[in-house]
Structure 1
C-alpha cells in the first residue's frame, strides 16, 4: 500500500472505521449460518457466491433414487410422516440434497399444522424453516426453496405475537413471489400467494401503523382482487383440491361475490374427500352453502318484486274537484 493511500485511511473519521469493522465482523460470522437467509434485506438481491453444491447437482446413486421414489409414493398415499422419515434418511447420506430438503420442509409444516398443541406445532414449523433455509442456500432463486421458506414463515406467523407476525409477513413477500415466478406449475405456491395478498390487503389500522413505523411500510402487493386471481390459478391447476375451493369461496363471500361463492361450493360438493382433512373441509363447505343460498334467494325475491313494481304504470290520483 502506498504511503499516500495509507495516510488517507489514517485520517478517516472513527465512525467510518467502526462501520467497516462491524461489516467485516458480520460478513465473517453470519454468512456460514444456515438461517442467514432470514437476515437479508427485503430489497437486496441474493448473493451470487454460494457454497459448492456439486453434490446436490450430480446424479443420485441407485440407493438414493430408490428412497426418493419410496418417499414420493408415500406422499401420494398421504403418509406424510413416513415420507418425511425417508427424506431425512436421504439427508443423512447427502445433507445438500435439494429435493429432499424442500420436500422435508413442506412435509414438516403440513404435519405440524395438524397438531392442536402449539409446542408441537412450533417444533415442526421450526424444523420446516431450517430445511427450507438450507434449500434456499443451495438455490436462492429456486421456486421450490422459496415456497418452502414462505410456507414455514406463514405458518410460524400464526404462533407469533402481533409484531413478530407482521415481521414474518413482511419477510415472506419476496419468497412467495419467487415461488410463483419460478414454479408457476405449483398450485400450493399460488394458494400461499393468494392468502398472503388477502391478509396484507386487510391489515387493520394498528397493523398498518406498526408496519409504517417499525417495518418501513406495509408490504406491497396486498390486493383482494389479485388474491382471488391467485386462488383461481391454484384451483385451475388442482381442481379437485377441496382446500382451494374453501379458501376461494370464503374470499368470494367476504367480497360480496355471492354467486361465485355458491358455484365454487357446489363444485366442492362434487369432489369426494380422500383424507380426514378433506372430510373436515368438505363439511365446512357444506355448512357455508345454505346461508348463501338463503341470502341469494332473498335477493332474487327483492329484485323480482322491484321489477314488477317498475313494470306497473304509474297511478296518478284523480282529483275529485273539477274547476269550472
Structure 2
C-alpha cells in the first residue's frame, strides 16, 4: 500500500496509454483533398529589365547571339533568378559554343550553358523551357565526353527532353532534340548497349527510328524555313532508306536562302547530299521491275511438236527477273 501511495500517478498513466492506444491504431479519417493553391504570379519586371529583354530579343532576331547573351548576363547580374534570362542564356551559350572547333572553348560555353540551365531548373523544375535548356546542354556536353560519360548523359537527359515537348509542344527545337536523341539511342552499338545494361541500369527507353523521324517531321512542319531541321530530317530519311522523302526535303532546302554563316554551312551540306540521292533514284526508276517487264509475244513463237493441243503456259521467269 505504501508503494501505491508513493506511485499514485502510475495507474492513471497506464490507463491513459491503454485508452490512447486503440485510438492511434485506428486509420486516419480520409480528408477531402485540399484545393491546390496557385503559385503566385511573378512580380512584373522593372522598366529597366523590360528594356533589356526587348533589346536581347531584337538582337536575337538580327542573329547577333553573342550580343544578346551579353544583355541577358547584364539582367542576371541584377536579377539572378530571372527565368527567361537564364534559359535563354543556356540556349545561346550552346549555339555559340557549337561554332568553335576548339574543344576548350566549346567546353567553356557548354559548361556555362549547363549552369544557366541548372539555375532555371531550380526555379521551375517542370518548366518546358528549363527542361529544354537542360537537355540541350547535356546533349552537347556529351559530344565532348568519353564513351561512358556520354552514355550517362544520354540517359540523364531523357526525362528533360520528354518533359520539354510535353510542356512546350509549340517549341520546334524541343521536337528536333527529341528526334535526335531517339535516333541516337536507337542506334547504340553492341558495346554501348552492354555498357548501358551492366553499368547504367539499362538502355534508355524511347529510342526508335520511326518515332525520331516523326518528331523531326513535326519540327520541320512547325519551322519549314529552318535549314538545320531540313538537314537532320534528310539525313535520317536517307539512313532509313526513305530516299524519295530525303530528296523532297533537300529540294525544299535548296529554296531557302541562307542568312547566317551557320545557315550557309548547312545549306552546302544539303546541296552536297542531294545529287547522290537523285542519281540513285534515277537509276532505280530507269531499271524495269519484274512486274512491269513486257511479256514475250507467244503467238509468234511456234509451240513445240509435243505440246500441240495442250494448254500453253507462259515463261516461268521474265528477262528482268534473271
Shift of 1:311: 3.8
- Counterpart in 2 of 1:86? 71
- Counterpart in 2 of 1:256? 241
TM-score normalised to structure 1 length:
0.80
Q: 2:170 aligned with 1:170, yes or no? A: no
- Counterpart in 2 of 1:96? 81
- Counterpart in 2 of 1:28? none
Shift of 1:319: 3.4
Distance 1:175 1:314 in 2: 67
- Counterpart in 1 of 2:271? 286
**What SS class does the counterpart of residue 103 from structure 1 fall into?**
helix
Structure 1, unpaired ranges of 5+? 1-52
Distance 1:107 1:209 in 2: 35
What pairs with 1:126-275 in structure 2 (closer than 5 Å)? 126-275=111-260
Distance 1:210 1:202 in 2: 14
Distance 2:298 2:182 in 1: 50
Distance 1:309 1:193 in 2: 44
Deviations 1:174-219 (A, max 9, x none): 0000000000111111100000000000000000000000010000
Shift of 1:305: 5.6
Deviations 1:219-260 (A, max 9, x none): 000000100011011111111000000000000000000000
Deviations 1:252-301 (A, max 9, x none): 00000000000010111111111011111111111111110110011111
Distance 1:106 1:312 in 2: 65
Distance 2:189 2:273 in 1: 25
Greater relative CO (CA pairs within 8 A, separation 6+): 1
Structure 2, unpaired ranges of 5+? 1-38, 309-322
**What SS class does the counterpart of residue 114 from structure 1 fall into?**
coil
If each structure's helix is expressed as a fraction of its own residues, which one has the higher value? Answer: 1
TM-score normalised to structure 2 length:
0.80
Shift of 1:322: 9.2
Q: 1:317 to 1:118 in 2, by over 3 A?
A: farther
List structure 1 segments (4+ residues) > 4 angstroms apart after TM superposition: 313-318, 320-323
Q: 1:103 to 1:322 in 2, by over 3 A?
A: closer
What pairs with 1:12-51 in structure 2 (closer than 5 Å)? none
Distance 2:93 2:56 in 1: 14
Aligned equivalent of 1:300, options 259, 281, 285: 285
Distance 2:152 2:106 in 1: 19
Q: 1:217 to 1:319 in 2, by over 3 A?
A: same
Q: 1:114 to 1:305 in 2, by over 3 A?
A: same
Q: 1:220 to 1:317 in 2, by over 3 A?
A: farther
Distance 2:162 2:292 in 1: 51
Shift of 1:313: 4.8
Q: 1:170 to 1:309 in 2, by over 3 A?
A: same
Number of aligned residues = 269
- Counterpart in 2 of 1:65? 50
Q: 1:98 to 1:314 in 2, by over 3 A?
A: farther
Distance 1:190 1:244 in 2: 10
Distance 2:304 2:67 in 1: 88
Shift of 1:317: 7.5
Q: 2:293 aligned with 1:309, yes or no? A: yes
**What SS class does the counterpart of residue 262 from structure 2 fall into?**
helix
